[in-house]
Amino acid sequence: MAIKRIIDGVHVVPMGNANAYLIEAEDGLALIDAGFPDKEAAVFTAIRALGRTPDQLKHLILTHGHPDHIGSAAAIVRETGARTYLHEADIPLAETGGPFRPMAPAPGMLRRVLCRVLYDHNERLAPVAIDEPLVDGTTLPIAGGIDVIHVPGHCAGQVALLWRPGRMLFAADVFMNVMGLGDPLGFENLADGRASQARLAGLSFDAVGFGHGGVITRDATARLRKWARAR
């Protein structure tokens, strides 16, 4: 599947069952998330499709330390030299390459089945060194400004990112948009996860992308709010 433009300056890189997002800025390229293991070629293909070269990838910002988001990080860094970012609670996961923390399935039959099939906390990955911890309430001076919002629950070190110039929210696995907007596959802590969903639903943005499933580019704030209110 080819790279797809979402809004000006943002492309989604299809990484199998997970998404990564490329932000194009004057100061180079930034990639949000690194997909499952062995998916680095999809990133390099996407970068070349934009008329760029892999060495122009300057930043690799990881939303959380799960294998489907950091899986190809080591290989991407080896090729590009990109600077890496992750919340401190998940840095040990990336730097050891696993094992990961157990997660309880989210409510509902489908997620109970999929969580068991798709999430293996004993998985082992190539370790990747993290250059800079992501801190709640700070703004990364990357691509015109990216706000860091700590949203634990699904994963203790999860962050969402709000790219200011394009008013696009990267919601990671706070929600999932596969067969409709809904919960992620599982939670380490359900109460924290609900609080994080409510926190993101209280923000204002024009588009929202998820770790899994389609991007919402119309009525994004209203749709998240409506879903969160119904919980």
Q: Which is nearer to Zn ion, 58 or 101 (CB)?
A: 101
Residues at the site binding Zn ion, with contacts judged by CB under 5 A: 66, 68, 173, 211
User: Which amino acid type is present at position 90?
Assistant: D
Q: Which is nearer to Zn ion, 59 or 154 (CB)?
A: 154
CB of 134 to Zn ion, least distance (A): 15
Q: Report DSSP state, residue 213.
A: B
Q: Which is nearer to Zn ion, 24 or 174 (CB)?
A: 174
Q: Which is nearer to Zn ion, 40 or 173 (CB)?
A: 173
Residue number, nearest CB to Zn ion: 66
The residues near 123 (Cβ < 8 Å, ≥ 6 apart) are 67, 98, 99, 100
Q: What angle do CA 180, 14, 116 make, to 5 degrees?
A: 60
CB of 27 to Zn ion, least distance (A): 28
Write the CA distances from 150 to 2, 63, 89, integer angstroms: 31, 9, 10
- Taking Cα atoms as reference points, which of 86, 72, 10, 18 lies closest to residue 44? 72
